[in-house]
A and B are shown apart, each in its own frame.
Chain A
Amino acid sequence: MQQIIYFFQKFKYFLFFLLLELIALTFTFNNLNFHKSKFVNSANNITGGLYTTLANSTEYLGLKTENEFLSIENTKLKNQLEKNKLFFSKDSMIVDSSKYHQKYTYTQAKIINNNYSKSFNFLTINKGKNQKIDKEMAVINSRGVIGITENTSNNYTRIQSILNKNSKINARLKNSNYFGTLGWDGSNYRTVQLSDIPRQAPLKIGDTIETDGKSTIFPEGIPIGTISKINHGNTADNKVDVQLFNDMSNLGYVYIIRNLDKEEIQSLENTSNE
């Protein structure tokens, strides 16, 4: 007994040090797990509040570009509206609104904290559970894909950026059905990697890559980027580099997309596994 007490006396600092290091390691491993990172993240009231203050004070610096993108996006949307007007302008056409089924709802949010220089990058936005934001919702802006929501508190949400080594997004070659997985190797914040795309897909430098809509998260056809490099070696995963449309180092406002059919699709998919 005396030996044990003596042991603790002698190594008390070392044991305390080990205990705290174990706690730190647990946080580290949990942080990289999409479903476990509950505790240490920037989506709490203190960090969120501070980042909001900071974002509010530095917002002026990005106003010019933000306005430019808004007006570009408005032009695009107005053109789309015109196309639809043609469709509705026929005489005696009845639109039965009860048959129309809305699939997605959009919420706007502001990015208050942005990381892009690490291997595992996260963003924080100023909307949370109170604004009906949940886990696993798509985050985009007018130029393309940004990431997936991960951790929500009442007023803030943490987003797993596409610039995160754990990020996996289903993407395809535009105007075709060839799809692959979009990931990131952690090297350059301007390019992401599309892997597992079939070998017979007619890939060319400059072709557009967009989301495929095969998951319950992203709608179909959201732009991602253009192919910037094709590896002609016979590697198993057939990787191509995709240059992003978005400048991830300069983001302002984003849209969060809720898929209204998500529960239905997931319950269907789960029953088939039993």
Chain B
Amino acid sequence: MNKSINQIFFFLFLLFLQVLVLNNINFLGYINPYLYIAFVFLYPVKEERFTFLFVSFLLGLFVDFFSDSGGIHAFATLFIAYIRLFFIRVYFRKMPADYPFFTLKSESFGKVFNYVVTLTIIHHLIYFSFANFSFLNLSMVFFNTLYSSVFTLILFFIGTYIFTKDE
């Protein structure tokens, strides 16, 4: 019970951080971090995935509501939520029996880095492809993905470094 309340607060915190602060940064005119996908990285891994998929979709959709982007954020966020398990299997070599004990904190930095970078780039690539909505300016999509990914990743690793307690 306590855990799910924490999740709800984390959900709302990321949503408001994204739409009220991060969407308005416009670094160098157009580069924004999309840190709200940290929700997907940090959500507990379970066998049952309906809740997780739906909540990820909702988070993306709420960001869409605020940024007038139709369903692009929802699409991209749901996509990385769905393929997350595959990358957890590949990078961390986890079996279903290990899921309840799996946290990013207990893993080595290199593995976590690979996992987060992969999902971030996939998410941003989908998001910017749809935001561009044409086959022109594909270089723009590529550069946007690159710059925003770097921005998001820097914020994510700084954030996790600050907020994880050394136990």
Complex CA–CA separation, A252 to B70 (angstroms): 25
Complex CA–CA separation, A46 to B15 (angstroms): 13
Segment touching B, from A28-36, A66-74, A259-267: A28-36
Cβ contact within 8 Å between A40 and B61:
yes
A-B contact pairs, 6 of them (CB 8 A): A20-B53, A27-B74, A31-B68, A40-B71, A47-B66, A117-B32
Cβ contact within 8 Å between B65 and A42:
yes
Cβ contact within 8 Å between B69 and A118:
yes
Question: Could you tell me how many residues of chain B have their Cβ less than 8 Å away from some Cβ of chain A?
Answer: 35
Cβ contact within 8 Å between B71 and A41:
no
Cβ contact within 8 Å between B65 and A16:
no
Cβ contact within 8 Å between A20 and B54:
yes
**B116 CB to nearest A CB, Å:** 21
Residue of A nearest to B72 (CB): A28
What A residues does B50 contact at CB under 8 A? 13, 16
Closest 4 CB pairs of A and B: A31-B70, A27-B71, A24-B71, A28-B70
Cβ contact within 8 Å between B68 and A41:
yes
Complex CA–CA separation, A21 to B54 (angstroms): 11
**B72 CB to nearest A CB, Å:** 6
What B residues does A42 contact at CB under 8 A? 65-68
B48-68, CB under 8 A of A: which get 1 and which 0? Answer: 011001100100110011111
Cβ contact within 8 Å between B70 and A17:
no
What A residues does B134 contact at CB under 8 A? 165
Complex CA–CA separation, A50 to B21 (angstroms): 12
What A residues does B17 contact at CB under 8 A? none
Complex CA–CA separation, A123 to B68 (angstroms): 9
What B residues does A23 contact at CB under 8 A? 71, 74
What A residues does B74 contact at CB under 8 A? 20, 23-24, 27
A115: Cβ under 8 A from any B Cβ = yes
Complex CA–CA separation, A30 to B74 (angstroms): 14
B20: Cβ under 8 A from any A Cβ = yes
B106-145, CB under 8 A of A: which get 1 and which 0? Answer: 0000000000000000000000001111100100100000
In this complex, the interface size class of chain A, counting residues with CB under 8 Å from chain B, is 35 or more
Residues 21-35 (chain B) with a chain A CB within 8 angstroms: 26, 29-30, 32
What B residues does A32 contact at CB under 8 A? 70, 133
B75: Cβ under 8 A from any A Cβ = yes
**A15 CB to nearest B CB, Å:** 11
Complex CA–CA separation, A24 to B72 (angstroms): 7
Residues 211-225 (chain A) with a chain B CB within 8 angstroms: none
What B residues does A119 contact at CB under 8 A? 131-133
B102: Cβ under 8 A from any A Cβ = no
Cβ contact within 8 Å between B70 and A40:
yes
Residue of B nearest to A58 (CB): B24
B92: Cβ under 8 A from any A Cβ = no
Complex CA–CA separation, A26 to B75 (angstroms): 10
Complex CA–CA separation, A249 to B141 (angstroms): 21
Cβ contact within 8 Å between A24 and B67:
no
Cβ contact within 8 Å between B71 and A115:
no
Complex CA–CA separation, A249 to B26 (angstroms): 10
A182-193, CB under 8 A of B: which get 1 and which 0? Answer: 000011010000
A122: Cβ under 8 A from any B Cβ = yes
**A23 CB to nearest B CB, Å:** 7
**B17 CB to nearest A CB, Å:** 13
- Tell me which of A17, A113, A124, A165 contacts B78 (CB under 8 A): A17
Complex CA–CA separation, A31 to B61 (angstroms): 13
What B residues does A51 contact at CB under 8 A? 66
Cβ contact within 8 Å between B133 and A41:
no
